[in-house]
Structure 1
Amino acid sequence: MDFRNVLRKNAIRTRFVIATYLLLMLMIGLLVDTAIGANPYLDLTDNMLAFLTFKTLPIATLIILAISILLLIFIHFKGHKIMLTGMNARLISPDGTLNAQERQLLNIVEELSLSATLGYIPKLYLLDTPEANAFAAGWSEKNAFIGVTTGLLNRLNRQEVQAVLAHETGHIIHGDSRLTLYVGILANVILTVTNIFGSRLYIASGNRGGKSNDAASKARLILIILNLVLPIITQVLYFYLSRTREYMADATAVDLTQDNQAMINALKKISAQHDTENFEDGSTGRAYRKAAFIFNKGDSFFSTHPSIENRIAVLEGRKTF
């Protein structure tokens, strides 16, 4: 696996997805402003340009932006905590009384943190569930942690556990938790605004002449159309971003451990269990953990993870993504 090439491709794709979300948010804000306060002497395009250049104050766009910023601030400080809700999670502290397995886990995390030059050691949580899985959250010394299930520890050997923890360390290194939470917030703001203005809010065109009505009507029509197609577009983009981050975390695991076979074996064992057992539940945390788990069934436009077959093919150098 060409680790540097994987990182380069993923960085390009990430920038593309983020730019697309921001452009969608800007376009929707300008459409809402036009639908509410179209200038009677300008057509749709000129109205949107007037709001974009602040010749007319884009009140709706600024409100949407302000709401997004507030939600992003909240997620920045509280989002990582949601990941543990609904799970019987126990902090494995180096200051506590530890058995041999727990000590080994802490040693692995410490080794990986040093190899990755993180500058700190993420917290480690043991999750009491038969499901073989793991996930990471956070991106700094204050909020980074790795969660490992007892089911995973019971099925994998030390090298395979180390590969899984290296994968999760990769997510922390690259701030994947922060990125996916931020993108999720942007997607929800976009969908909420288009839903309100596209199907529920009927705005009177006013009595300022045909041109005004025409521009506002076109803006509302576009919002109605976007209300139908954006749920699909935003989800496809979100899942695409999530899948690329999994490939990058696999690449990071190989780079940190210098062993692609351990990662391959771990993925095979984890996926084999999930083929025969179902651990889905409806907890709030589960919805957030789904994209963060090392394994989740996929490989479609609406999957958070690539298929195990594709991940193994990339790890073995038989395929690029």
Structure 2
Amino acid sequence: MGYAKTAILMAVMTALFLGLGALLGGRGGMMIALLIAVAMNLFSYWNSDKAVLRMHNARQVDATTAPDFYAMVQGLAGNAGLPMPKVFIIDTDQPNAFATGRNPENAAVAATTGLLNRMSREEIAAVMAHELAHVQNRDTLIMTITATFAGAISMLANFAMFFGSRDRPGGFIGTLALMILAPLAAGLVQMAISRSREYEADRIGAEICGNPMWLASALQKIEAFAQKIDNPAAERNPATAHMFIINPLHMFTHDKLFSTHPSTANRIAALRQMAGGMAAPTVAPTPPKTPRRGPWG
């Protein structure tokens, strides 16, 4: 059901973009909008991961610079049947993590120092399993495309003030409504897609790490810390907030229309239900047994 809902929402986003192009310039405007969308998505396909990692000052680590953390991700990737992703650490005290990359062969996962220092080994494993689930589901590509479409729709809506406003039905008032409603609708669709993918990544991530309650515990702790600890890079780049496992911005509480993430309470409830249906928790493939503040790099 999650994949079907995502496909429907992606189709709505595409139709909204093409329809806006048609309103601005008829069939020719729709074709121009389509060409812009293709060009922007091609650029995002090849460059979005590098841009996001730079925004958050992420530093790449390996088996030498962060042996325990790297080994943990390596074990989880093997459990998920995925190629080993690039591994990054972000120097910020807020516990959080995200995944990026155009496909599993070119993926990267990033965790904050706050996550590595404040969470237990099992909770860290569960969070990284969630991020690897996003990689497995190709959610990183889906969210890049939807973000690109949302940005392009906003750009076209701004163009509406300069092209053909007198001839368009509704005149100036219609143009003004178009400028406001089109980006709003695109944003709502983008957020709906993001929320649906988080639930799916929770489910698959719990399967990868072997115990849904590890992820439930991590989500509860991360949300509590995120409400008290700033993430300066995320605040400077709010468009990347949907990528994190928990919204890093101080502007969320419930599973509401304008939220990029589902309610954490709803996610935990779903994980608890999942745990109740499992025969017995398994052991996650996370070899190192380090203390909470171990040598993560």
The aligned counterpart of 1:200 is 162
Q: Is the 8 A contact 1:130 1:151 kept in 2?
A: yes
Q: Is the 8 A contact 2:157 2:183 kept in 1?
A: no
The aligned counterpart of 1:137 is 100
Relative distance call for 1:279 and 1:30 in structure 2 (3 A) is closer
Q: Is the 8 A contact 2:2 2:196 kept in 1?
A: yes
The aligned counterpart of 2:186 is 234
Q: Which secondary structure state, in structure 1, belongs to the residue aligned with residue 10 of structure 2? A: helix
**What is the Cα deviation at residue 237 of structure 1?**
1.0
Note if 1:12 corresponds to 2:4.
yes
Q: Which amino acid aligns with 1:242?
A: S
Relative distance call for 1:267 and 1:282 in structure 2 (3 A) is closer
**Range 262-271 or range 186-195, more displaced:** 186-195
**What is the Cα deviation at residue 32 of structure 1?**
2.3
Q: 2: CA distance between counterparts of 1:110 and 1:283?
A: 30
Q: Is the 8 A contact 1:139 1:173 kept in 2?
A: no
Q: Is the 8 A contact 1:83 1:288 kept in 2?
A: no
Q: 1: CA distance between counterparts of 2:235 and 2:226?
A: 19
The aligned counterpart of 1:157 is 120
Relative distance call for 1:287 and 1:170 in structure 2 (3 A) is same
**What is the Cα deviation at residue 175 of structure 1?**
1.3
Q: 2: CA distance between counterparts of 1:220 and 1:117?
A: 55
Higher-Rg member (1/2): 1
The aligned counterpart of 1:42 is none
The aligned counterpart of 2:50 is 81
Note if 1:115 corresponds to 2:55.
no
**What is the Cα deviation at residue 81 of structure 1?**
0.9
1:72 equivalent among 14, 20, 41: 41
**What is the Cα deviation at residue 172 of structure 1?**
0.7
Q: Is the 8 A contact 1:260 1:315 kept in 2?
A: yes
Q: Is the 8 A contact 1:133 1:148 kept in 2?
A: yes
Q: Is the 8 A contact 2:103 2:141 kept in 1?
A: no
Q: 1: CA distance between counterparts of 2:234 and 2:136?
A: 29
The aligned counterpart of 2:62 is 93
Q: 2: CA distance between counterparts of 1:227 and 1:254?
A: 42
Q: CA RMSD in A?
A: 2.2
Q: Is the 8 A contact 2:216 2:271 kept in 1?
A: yes
The aligned counterpart of 1:213 is none
**What is the Cα deviation at residue 22 of structure 1?**
1.5
Q: 2: CA distance between counterparts of 1:204 and 1:156?
A: 58
Q: 1: CA distance between counterparts of 2:156 and 2:57?
A: 36
Note if 1:317 corresponds to 2:273.
yes
**What is the Cα deviation at residue 295 of structure 1?**
1.0
User: Structure 1 stretches of 5 or more lacking a match?
Assistant: 1-8, 35-57, 206-215
Deviation string, structure 1 residues 109-167 (Cα, Å, up to 9, x no partner): 1122122112x100111111111111110143553111011111111111111100100
Q: 2: CA distance between counterparts of 1:269 and 1:217?
A: 52
Q: 2: CA distance between counterparts of 1:202 and 1:314?
A: 49
Could you tell me the TM-score, scaled by structure 1's length?
A: 0.77
Q: How does 1:225-304 map to 2 (within 5 A)?
A: 225-281=177-233, 286-296=237-247, 297-298=252-253, 299-304=255-260
**Number of positions where the alignment pairs a residue of Structure 1 with one of Structure 2:** 269
Q: Is the 8 A contact 2:130 2:201 kept in 1?
A: yes
Relative distance call for 1:114 and 1:142 in structure 2 (3 A) is closer
Q: Is the 8 A contact 1:80 1:143 kept in 2?
A: no
Q: Which amino acid aligns with 1:24?
A: L
2:261 equivalent among 293, 299, 305: 305
1:176 equivalent among 139, 149, 173: 139
Could you tell me the TM-score, scaled by structure 2's length?
A: 0.83
**What is the Cα deviation at residue 301 of structure 1?**
1.0
Q: Is the 8 A contact 2:49 2:102 kept in 1?
A: no
Q: Is the 8 A contact 1:240 1:304 kept in 2?
A: yes
**What is the Cα deviation at residue 85 of structure 1?**
2.1
Q: 2: CA distance between counterparts of 1:234 and 1:158?
A: 39
Deviation string, structure 1 residues 20-54 (Cα, Å, up to 9, x no partner): 111112222222234xxxxxxxxxxxxxxxxxxxx
Q: Is the 8 A contact 1:136 1:171 kept in 2?
A: yes
The aligned counterpart of 2:279 is none
User: Structure 2 stretches of 5 or more lacking a match?
Assistant: 275-297
Q: Is the 8 A contact 1:163 1:253 kept in 2?
A: yes
Q: 1: CA distance between counterparts of 2:227 and 2:148?
A: 32
The aligned counterpart of 2:129 is 166
The aligned counterpart of 1:62 is 31
Q: 1: CA distance between counterparts of 2:33 and 2:57?
A: 37
